[in-house]
Chain A
Amino acid sequence: MQGLVNRAVERFVRDTYGRTTWLEIMRGLDLGFSEFEAMLNYDPDITPRLLMAVAAALDRPETDILEDIGTYLVSHPNAAAVRRLLRFGGDTFEEVLHSLEDLPGRAALAVPDLYLPPMDVSEQAGGLFCLRIGTRDRPGQGYGHLAVGLFRALADDYGALVMLDHKGAEAGTEHVQIEFLSADHAEGRRFSLGAAG
């Protein structure tokens, strides 16, 4: 379900930089259409080309773009469904971190053919978490950078204070370090289980 990923990139660009910027990017890619359908499959090669084109158009590194997309998915009203689904991960940010390994499974429950790289999390001493995304056979594909933005925004959402750092990748595995400083640093955003019903 590559459409969902491409569509997320599209919503991010359109909601943040406007439709004109988006249409220019799509013209440059010359795919023969200007919008992605979330529920259709596309050639997997399109996504890296798309990200490269977005980075070029905005004159920023691709890793920054991925991070911003992660933030967008949690904090923008147009992506409210994503935020809600992530909040089902737990009552506190720490619980969400511990439930990360379930995330690809949860995503697959909703949309069976969405590819998410495997991820696992380990807690080290002193509130330090290490997040590993991807394996040699199922590489991270930049999801680590997306995770940095996403969890930074999600920590905000819970009112927790964390420091996130992408530590690079080796053999398909991206390493993200999460330093957990405070669980109730600020008032988080309200979340009620039944809100969308």
Chain B
Amino acid sequence: MSACGGVGLPDQAALDVLCPMHARMDRQGRIVHAGPMLAKLDKGCGLAGRRFLEVFEVRRPRIHDRVEALIGRGPARLRLRLRQPPGTGLKGVLVPVPCGAVVNLSFGIALQEAVRDFALTAGDFASTDLAIEMLYLIEAKSAAMEASRKLNLRLQGARIAAEEKAFTDTLTGLGNRRALEPVLTRLIDTESDFALLNLDLDFFKAVNDTLGHAAGDHVLRLAARIMQDETRESDRVLRLGGDEFVVILQGPGVGARVDDIATRLIARLRAPMIWEGRTCSVSASIGVSLSRDYLVQEAGAMIAAMMEDADRALYAAKALGRGRHVINDPAGGVGPMAG
């Protein structure tokens, strides 16, 4: 060893401070000395005296466990892995010296796990090592990121709630006028078959005028529930305002369902509703337009046309004496149907 002392390397004690993760090995690849931090990686019998390749698996460059292949060359960058658990990944550099080689190692990206696995402290690292700054940065950024993530979740929750509120009629819990266009647009864009029922409560104004707004609100809530009861999960019921409702029926065979559902809706809405012991009598008129009667076109134009036709059908139903439904006749004019 003394013959190798004067080759220009700093002495052992100096090297331990400068590179606490270094190892010296002899020409046979046996570890002659391990720096204080590297020594911490072996919890058992100590590193000195063991073969370097028995402790570390060299993954790059490929040397097929022949240590001469390393020591014989010039300085080499290494990728290694600790053979014993937890199999920590390491990066390093090997420099041949006359009596063997010096390897300096570092944890690279596995730093955080390594610090935990080997209970390392700031004092273990060389004072020039940026590891502590890196750990600090990881922790500080994670804390800031976590705070941002929570804020995003809260903002997203608030946005969804605000959106729901904006599209909901507070009295009945049904969708409101703002919900109409998105619902219809989606149906038109997916070329779904649907029926648009424009429904007005008849004699509602009389209930409001004689029994007061509380009675009117009660009737609107009951009417909303009836419409939801009589339609399917996939159908939509909206309240556009006042006593104006829209029922959108969808799914296959919707044309065949329309008469049946409209008739049942009117029958149930016509049944007397009781509010604080008093009877409220309303009925309903319905105008219908069917998507199948329209050429596929841009959603906005189709919505306008269908709403207009359903409206016209509704007025026809009213003109025929209320309490009935009328389906828009695409051939022009509207065909009266039994109420």
> Chain A interface (Cβ within 8 Å of chain B)?
37-40, 81, 84-85, 88, 90-91, 106, 109-111, 192-197
Contacts and interface: CB of A to CB of B under 8 A. Distances in A.
A14 B310 CA distance: 58
Contact of B143 (A40, A81, A91): A81
B226 to A, nearest CB: 41
Contact of B121 (A38, A84, A192, A196): A192
Interface stretch (B78-86, B131-139, B279-287): B131-139
B112 A197 contact: yes
Given A88-B132, A91-B123, A110-B144, A196 B139 contact: yes
Q: Is the interface of B mostly helix, strand, loop or mixed?
A: helix
Which 6 A-B pairs rank lowest in CB-CB distance, beginning with the nearest?
Answer: A194-B116, A110-B140, A194-B115, A88-B136, A81-B143, A197-B112
B151 A37 contact: yes
B122 A90 contact: yes
Interface of A, helix, strand, loop or mixed by DSSP: loop
A39 B144 CA distance: 8
B15 interface: no
Contacts of B3: none
Q: How large is the interface on B (under 10, 10 to 19, 20 to 34, 35 or more residues)?
A: 20 to 34
B132 A40 contact: no
B120 A85 contact: no
B129 to A, nearest CB: 12
B115 A109 contact: no
Given A38-B147, A38-B151, A197 B116 contact: yes
5 contacts: A85-B140, A106-B140, A111-B140, A193-B115, A197-B113
B141 A110 contact: yes
A91 B121 contact: yes
Nearest to B117: A194
B151 A106 contact: no
Nearest to B136: A88
Most buried by B among A38, A85, A194: A194
A193 B151 contact: no
Contacts of B112: 194, 197
A88 B132 CA distance: 7
B143 A110 contact: yes
A192 B117 CA distance: 11
Contacts of A81: 139, 143
